Structures are given as C-alpha cells and as structure tokens.
Amino acid sequence: MDRNFARALALVLKSEGGWSDNPADPGGATMKGVTLANFRRYVKANASKADLRKISDQQVAAVFRRYYWDAVLGAELPDGVDHAVFDFAVNSGPGRAAKALQAALGVAQDGRIGPATLAAARARPAGVTIDALCDARLAFLKRLPTWATFGRGWSDRVTSVRAQALLMSATPVTAPAPVPAAPSPGAEKAFGGAPAAQPVPPAVKTAAAAGILVLIAGALAAFRQHVTDLFGSLF
C-alpha cells in the first residue's frame, strides 16, 4: 500500500547503505542504492561519480518511487507484499521482481503487474506470497556467478526483507474498549466528570448508629461479667 512507501524506502536504504564502487559489482558506482547509470538516466545525463555522491534525499526518494515502487504498483499491492516486491525490484530490477511475484501467484509471467496479478495477490494470504517470493529471490541470487562474493550479504538482506514484510502484513489485534458502567439515575457530575458522592439517607444513618450502640453494650456486658468472675474467685 502507498502508506508503506516511506517505511519500505527506509528499509531499502538501510540495506543499500551509502557509497559503493566495488569492481565486482555489475551495478558499478552506487550511492544510497542509486547507480551511476540510473542517476544519469533519470536525474542528470552527464553526471559524474562526484555528482552521484552528492545526490539529495529528495532525488533518492523520487528515483525509488518512480522507477521501482511505481513500476511494480507498490501502492496497490497488499501490505508486506509491497515491500518484498519493491526491495526485490531495487536489487534485481522491476521486471524480474514482477515475474517472480507472478510465478509465486501462479499467473502469467509477463513482467508487468496488472489487474490479474493484483487480483491474485489480494486473494492469497500475504504471508504465503511473501515466503514464496523470498524463496524464489534467494534461489535466483544463488545462481548468479557473483554469489561467492555477495552471497552472505544478499542472504542476510532477503532474511531481513522476509521478516519485515511479514511484520507489515500482520494485522494488529486491538482489545475491545471496556464498556463504562452506567451512572445511577439522577447522579450529578462532580469536578472532572466523575459522579458526585451521593448523600446517605437518614434512615441508613440511624440504623448504623443503632448497630454501633448494640456492639458497645455487648462489649460492656462481657467486661462486667469478666470482672465479676475474677473478683468472685478472689473473695
């Protein structure tokens, strides 16, 4: 869903890191996940590596949204599935990510996410789709000749993507709000909205006082009897 773009982008950027120019990486020079080739294609045609290193956060977000998130219809995919497909697209291209999703859903693999793919994604539990997609992604990466060099990092990334995507797909369960007790009829409100204390009826006061007097009388009688028994035994 589109509300997940900012969160998904932050996770992608955390995996992509900052500047990288590893000769073994087919993508070449990269800054915050944007390759020099894509920077030239989408931002500045004659950009140098120095230009790429100075790419702004706004430019980064614009590139990722337009050419990866929008390319896989991230705004229309179920929660969690959107992140898994988006990260796959950034790492290996939107077309490959779309085909992997279509294969996981059992629909035609044309590399373009459309109504049929979206309908299949919405009809299937998101967790099942995420697991199938991440399994397929890892299998694809293991077949690459650069697996020996980048395999550990890729494996960790897919593990993280799977966990985060499943977390995003989970629907929070909220406990029902407790039903407040109905106030007694005619009860007035005190300060702060709490029910005011109700006056005690005179009859209740009289009954309570009588009860206390009975208890006192009983205690005195018991005390007198105890004194009589004590002194009677002495004389």
Per-residue pLDDT tens over the stretch 167-183? 999 964 444 445 445 44
Look up tokens 């004389």; give the residue.
Answer: 235
Backbone φ, ψ for residue 133 (5° rounding): -65, -45
232: left (phi over 0), alpha (psi -120 to 50) or beta: alpha
The HSE-up count of residue 234 (CA atoms within 13 Å, CB side) is 6
Q: What does 176-201 look like in DSSP terms, one character per residue?
A: PPPPPPPPPTTPPB-GGGPBPPPPPP
- Spatial neighbors of 142 by CB under 8 A, at least 6 apart, are 151
Is residue 110's pLDDT more than 90? yes
Query: According to DSSP H, which parts of 17-172 are helical?
Result: 36-42, 49-53, 57-64, 81-92, 94-105, 115-123, 126-142, 147-169
| Pick from 166, 172, 168: nearest CA to 130 | 166
Per-residue pLDDT tens over the stretch 149-208? 999 999 999 999 999 999 999 964 444 445 445 444 443 333 344 444 455 555 545 545
Q: What does 162-176 look like in DSSP terms, one character per residue?
A: HHHHHHHHSPPP-PP
Say if strands 34-35 and 30-31 run parallel, antiparallel, or are unpaired: antiparallel
